[in-house]
Structure 1
Amino acid sequence: MNAIATVIAKRLGLGLLTLFIVSILIFFAVELLPGDMAEAVLGMGATEETTAALRERMGLDQPAPMRYLDWLGGAVRGDFGVSLVSGASVGEAIGQRLLNTLFLASYAAVIAVPFAIALGVVVALLRDTLFDRLANVLTLTSISSPEFFLGYILILYLSVRTGFFPAISSLTAGMGLGELLYRTFLPALTLVLVVTAHMMRMTRAAIINLLAEPYIEMARLKGAPPWKVIVHHALPNAWAPIINVVALNLAYLITGVVLVEVVFVYPGIGQLLVDAVAKRDFPIVQACCLIFAATFILLNLAADLGAILTNPRLRHPK
């Protein structure tokens, strides 16, 4: 148990260090953008007086390291500043959008994770059959297709030509769960098509690698049916790589939804990030990027912990 706690502490320390480095990169990447930030925000209506006032309001009259420390201190407390466009708190602007993105990611994950693992087990059972080859072709096609392309294809066939689902995922306050699931089905399906392929192929590969192990051969010689060999003997030992790929794809569902949200005009944090970049609303851009980075790091940490808990060799290192 002490070994596990030590590993968790090391992973947490490395995660915090990574997040600190990423925060530096985010802040100074915005600082390196060409032109004056205040003039870019004010646009054509910029005058010397308004530019000077906005520079003072944004803290641009202070050195960059001091502004970074102020921003980092506020971020640690959950205060990301004020939007330069709306004047509202960044936390308020991001709050509901983040919940929308988490809902969309959860919607896709509930469908994709069990389906991908079950499909990977079935394909491993039917290795080198026509079904296996067809599944590999379809998953490779899904992996090779950009998210926005898949989204437009789904809009064309499931919205424009058939009218089954709305092309734009507009949400309103007080919307029921059924209506919410219906309006967000197309963006969720787009994410499912992308992440299912990765998880299915990893599940298939992990199980096939274990099928040549001696204990698998022994189970077969005892007369165990193929499905029981995989489900009771191979799958428990394949959980570590499967959990890793599932956690990484869950991270993608949250951090990689930008294109999907833009295609379906979904009011999530990805759409907010794109709008903030277009309007040069830098506090929102920095906050969104930091949230994406923290989410990715946390889910990577979850993948490491899952691998440790499912692998006795990692739980009891020599």
Structure 2
Amino acid sequence: MGAIAKIILQRLGLGLLTLLIVSIVIFTAVNMLPGDFAQLILGQGATPEAIASIREDLGLDRSPIVRYFEWLGGAVRGDLGSSFAQANFASFAGADTGSGLSSVAGQIAPRFANTMFLAGVTACIAVPLAVGLGILAALYRNSIFDRIANIFTLSSISSPEFFLAYILILFLAVLNPILPSLSNIYDGMAFSERLEKTLLPALTLTLVVTAHMMRMTRAAIINLLASPYIEMARLKGLSPMRVIVKHALPNALAPIINVIALNLAFLVTGVVVVEVVFVYPGIGQLFVDSVKIRDIPVVQACCLIFAAVYILLNLTADILSIISNPRLRHPK
């Protein structure tokens, strides 16, 4: 158990170091975006004095190094700063800009919850489907079923997400009005209605991520079918399905867990296009809207959350694959 704890601590340390480096890249890249928020708000006829005044109010006139460390320190404390757009709106409306109206965390929290709901629905569909297809493809390898499954999954993963989304909208919302084409989610919505409006973007993401998991499951199982213990199980008279599920699958879990975790990370960080197509009120949609208006604090916070989730799920996959494989736990 001490060896596992040491491995976990090492991975967490590497993850924190990676996140620190990524935060520097995020801050640098976001602040290099073309355009200026003050100029955008005031318009083309703005005077240099008015632009300088707004930049001073927002802290944009300070050194980038000072602003980075202030942002990083706030992020460590859970304070992601204040939205430029909301703070500007609040000041025009006479509201208190220090209230939750302009808080970046306050804007992101409900959007992130919506994205996690979409990712959860997709995972509940995609993971069992992919693992099941992978097991069946390994069981009936080189058969018609195996070829059809490979062609279908490769076709889906080779198609752009927006193309798959529009195809599903055409067939499931326009020609056959089974599901709504727009995912207008709001607080207080019943779970069944929320699930119905989330199903179409979830099916789109399912088509995107199923291929990786299905092919890795198939390859990992087939790679073990020539092992001596599998031959022994066959000689005992066990059915092919039982041999795969009971003997091959448990020993193939490490690569399968890795690819599942990577695809779950994609479900959180790669939903931007799908959320924009379906107007889904998630963090991806918020990210795109914030880039349009150069709302730097919101863009930085969204990028940092994407990076943190991706790193965390990668670390989780790494740790689970080590725990599930004794040879990785004890390399000597």
Normalising by the smaller structure, the TM-score range is over 0.9
CA distance, structure 2, for counterparts of residue 38 and residue 26 of structure 1: 21
CA distance, structure 2, for counterparts of residue 224 and residue 313 of structure 1: 27
Question: Secondary structure, in 3 states, of the residue corresponding to 2:185?
Answer: coil
Q: In the TM superposition, what is the alpha-carbon distance from 1:36 to its structure 2 partner?
A: 4.3
CA distance, structure 1, for counterparts of residue 301 and residue 190 of structure 2: 30
Q: In the TM superposition, what is the alpha-carbon distance from 1:158 to its structure 2 partner?
A: 0.5
CA distance, structure 2, for counterparts of residue 306 and residue 188 of structure 1: 26
Map 1:92-107 → 2, pairs under 5 A: 92-107=106-121
Counterpart selection for 2:326 from 304, 312, 315: 312
Matching of residue 2 in structure 1 with residue 2 in structure 2: yes
Q: In the TM superposition, what is the alpha-carbon distance from 1:59 to its structure 2 partner?
A: 1.7
Matching of residue 143 in structure 1 with residue 157 in structure 2: yes
Matching of residue 128 in structure 1 with residue 142 in structure 2: yes
Q: Any conservation in 2 of the 1:41–1:84 contact (CA below 8 Å)?
A: no
Q: In the TM superposition, what is the alpha-carbon distance from 1:35 to its structure 2 partner?
A: 4.7
Q: Deviations over 1:210-266 (max 9, x none)?
A: 011111112112211101110111000000000000000000000000000000000
Q: In the TM superposition, what is the alpha-carbon distance from 1:41 to its structure 2 partner?
A: 4.5
2:64 partner amino acid: A
Q: Any conservation in 2 of the 1:206–1:238 contact (CA below 8 Å)?
A: yes
Matching of residue 292 in structure 1 with residue 306 in structure 2: yes
Relative distance call for 1:214 and 1:143 in structure 2 (3 A) is: same
Q: What corresponds to 1:81 in structure 2? A: 81
CA distance, structure 1, for counterparts of residue 42 and residue 136 of structure 2: 58
Relative distance call for 1:185 and 1:308 in structure 2 (3 A) is: same
CA distance, structure 1, for counterparts of residue 2 and residue 48 of structure 2: 62
Q: What corresponds to 1:31 in structure 2? A: 31
Q: Deviations over 1:41-72 (max 9, x none)?
A: 54335322321222112222221111100010
Counterpart selection for 2:192 from 168, 178, 182: 178
Q: Deviations over 1:266-302 (max 9, x none)?
A: 0000000000001111110000000000000000011
Q: In the TM superposition, what is the alpha-carbon distance from 1:184 to its structure 2 partner?
A: 1.0
Q: Deviations over 1:162-210 (max 9, x none)?
A: 1111111012332111111111110010011111111111100000000
For structure 1, the 5+ residue unaligned runs are: none
Q: What corresponds to 2:235 in structure 1? A: 221
Q: What corresponds to 1:194 in structure 2? A: 208
Aligned Cα RMSD in Å? Answer: 1.2
TM-score normalised according to structure 1 size: 0.97
Relative distance call for 1:174 and 1:34 in structure 2 (3 A) is: closer
Question: Secondary structure, in 3 states, of the residue corresponding to 1:61?
Answer: coil
2:139 partner amino acid: L
Q: Any conservation in 1 of the 2:35–2:294 contact (CA below 8 Å)?
A: no
Matching of residue 109 in structure 1 with residue 119 in structure 2: no
CA distance, structure 2, for counterparts of residue 46 and residue 180 of structure 1: 44
Matched-pair identity in %: 66
Q: In the TM superposition, what is the alpha-carbon distance from 1:137 to its structure 2 partner?
A: 0.3
Deviates more, 1:171-180 or 1:102-111: 171-180
CA distance, structure 2, for counterparts of residue 175 and residue 61 of structure 1: 43
Stretches of 4+ moved more than 6 A in 1? Answer: none
Q: Deviations over 1:119-151 (max 9, x none)?
A: 111111011110000000001101101111100
Relative distance call for 1:110 and 1:160 in structure 2 (3 A) is: same
Q: In the TM superposition, what is the alpha-carbon distance from 1:103 to its structure 2 partner?
A: 0.3
CA distance, structure 1, for counterparts of residue 159 and residue 218 of structure 2: 21
Q: Any conservation in 2 of the 1:220–1:229 contact (CA below 8 Å)?
A: yes
Deviates more, 1:79-88 or 1:302-311: 79-88
Q: What corresponds to 1:91 in structure 2? A: 105
CA distance, structure 2, for counterparts of residue 272 and residue 36 of structure 1: 19
Map 1:11-22 → 2, pairs under 5 A: 11-22=11-22
Question: Secondary structure, in 3 states, of the residue corresponding to 2:86?
Answer: coil
1:207 partner amino acid: I
Q: In the TM superposition, what is the alpha-carbon distance from 1:317 to its structure 2 partner?
A: 3.0
Number of residue-to-residue matches in the alignment: 318
Q: Any conservation in 1 of the 2:179–2:197 contact (CA below 8 Å)?
A: yes
Q: What corresponds to 2:96 in structure 1? A: none
For structure 2, the 5+ residue unaligned runs are: 88-101
Q: What corresponds to 2:181 in structure 1? A: 167
